[in-house]
Chains A and B, each alone.
Chain A
């Protein structure tokens, strides 16, 4: 099993550009999450999904959109990128049952200039 994979690993965007961060898991997990990690801060939840077709906002959803058309994939869309979106983005998945362990992808480092 590859676990949780994310692409790309690194990306530089200009202000106002858009992009999609890809996340795929092969563990048949129902729950998937997108987090951002800023220097000196804890991970913040952007969006999450409890199953295909179901998504919900987390703590910091503004400027982002998600979709979940399959169990495996949970892409994160950035529209009109802003410097405040410079961060490291992590995707994670979980079965949603005990022990509720979350499996993290390797992260995407995004810089908006």
Chain B
């Protein structure tokens, strides 16, 4: 069993829909990261969370430390949100990555 599990693996949506991507982990962590990998391959950091909730524009990330679970929400999804979203947890001084959720948003 992977230490970081994401669901779903693949997700399709119509433009405007509310999107939720889930991440569960089984190790002790000091922080959790959400990353976005564009179709061209580049990876950018979206959020770093150690508790509670963060919001950037249409993106919202939450974490429940007791339940070892995090969610990434996208409100009013748009085709430009199409990407792979990766959850990674910080354990000691290294990141452990999930396998990613591939999101496609259609007009």
A-side residues, CB < 8 A to B, are 31, 40-45, 48, 50, 58, 88, 90, 92, 96, 99-104, 106-107, 109
* A96 nearest in chain B by CB position: B93
Q: A90-B43, A104-B43 are in contact. Are A45 and B95 (CB under 8 A)?
A: yes
In the complex, whether B97 has a CB less than 8 A from a CB of chain A is yes
- Which of A99, A104, A109 contacts B44, CB < 8 Å? A104
Q: A50-B93, A100-B90 are in contact. Are A42 and B98 (CB under 8 A)?
A: yes
> Scoring B residues 10 to 49 as 1 if CB is less than 8 Å from chain A, else 0, what string do you get?
0000000000000000000011010000000111110010
Main secondary structure of the interface of B (DSSP, over half): strand
Assess the A42–B86 pair: CB atoms within 8 A.
yes
Q: A100-B48, A107-B41, A107-B42 are in contact. Are A42 and B97 (CB under 8 A)?
A: yes
Q: How large is the interface on B (under 10, 10 to 19, 20 to 34, 35 or more residues)?
A: 20 to 34
List 30 interface pairs A-B (beta carbons < 8 Å), by A numbering. A40-B99, A42-B4, A42-B96, A42-B97, A42-B98, A42-B99, A42-B100, A43-B86, A43-B95, A43-B97, A48-B94, A58-B94, A88-B41, A90-B43, A92-B43, A96-B93, A99-B31, A100-B30, A100-B31, A100-B90, A101-B33, A101-B45, A103-B45, A104-B42, A104-B44, A106-B41, A106-B42, A107-B41, A107-B43, A109-B41
